[in-house]
Amino acid sequence: MTAITDLRHDLVTVLERVGPGLPTLCEGWNTEHMLAHLILRETRPDIAAGVVLPPLSKRTEAKTEELAEELSDGHAFSDGLATFEAARPLTRRHDTADENVNYLEYIVHREDILRGSPEAVEMNSGRTADPEEQQKIWKALDRRAALMAKGYPDGLTLVGTDDQGAPRYGTSVVRKSADSSRVSGLVQKVVRSPRTGDAAVLTGEPLELLMYLFGRRDAARVEVSY
């Protein structure tokens, strides 16, 4: 099994252990909504497109709610997990494409479930961070964090630490100050929002930095400094 198939299996295992009816970090979504989203995302891209295309969002929301209602039954939930794991979209036919499209998405949604309720936390107690996964997240962040840094026009630096706070993974300057002569034209175009004058430094384990940059700030153990 490759890293992405291992991760997909882990996501399924977590969903199976938690079951339907428990909240996630995604506002308004229980675990059955999360499973519905994952199924539609990889079996019905025409429906899931509303996640990124606002004109289609109402249809996507309606279909997600409809499927989630079906999945609220325990047997249907188990069947849905099998459907998701067995799906064969084009992205799964090549490991590199599969990983590029799904790796960070799976991790964030796994954590949405694990951290979404006290019950889920209790059911999954004893889980420890996987050093190989942390390293892969750090490398992925180094490649993609700039796409998630539009809210930091004055600069953003990531410091990757281990679980003891030691700077194990190094420092990544995701975006330089808008005043830098080396800033690209694309970044200059993005930097039209109000500026604070201070560059942000986010410090934490790679997984926590990922959650923070994906908008799960309240659930992420990240130190923010300027």
46: Cα within 13 Å, side-chain hemisphere: 0
88-67-28-221 Cα dihedral, nearest 10 degrees: -20
Query: Which residue has 């084009």 as its token pair?
Result: 90
Q: Note the pTM of the prediction, 2 decimals.
A: 0.88
What's the pLDDT score for residue 6? 95
pLDDT in tens, the chain (226 residues): 799 999 999 999 999 999 999 999 999 999 999 999 999 999 998 998 888 888 999 999 999 999 999 999 999 999 999 999 999 998 898 999 999 999 999 999 999 999 999 999 999 888 888 999 999 999 999 888 778 787 888 899 999 999 999 999 999 998 887 644 333 333 333 333 345 567 899 999 999 999 999 999 999 999 999 8
What's the pLDDT score for residue 186? 33
In terms of C-beta density within 10 A (0-12 exposed, 13-18 middle, 19 or more buried), how is residue 53 classed? exposed
What's the pLDDT score for residue 195? 54
What's the pLDDT score for residue 40? 97
What's the pLDDT score for residue 70? 98
What's the pLDDT score for residue 75? 97
Distances (CA, A) of 14 to 11, 106, 144, 179, 197: 5, 11, 26, 45, 42
Q: Are 130 and 163 in contact (CB under 8 A)?
A: no
Instruction: Point out which residues pair with 158 in neighbouring strands.
Output: 172, 202
Q: Are 11 and 110 in contact (CB under 8 A)?
A: yes
Can you spell out the DSSP letters for 21-50?
T-B-SSTT-BHHHHHHHHHHHHH-HHHHGG
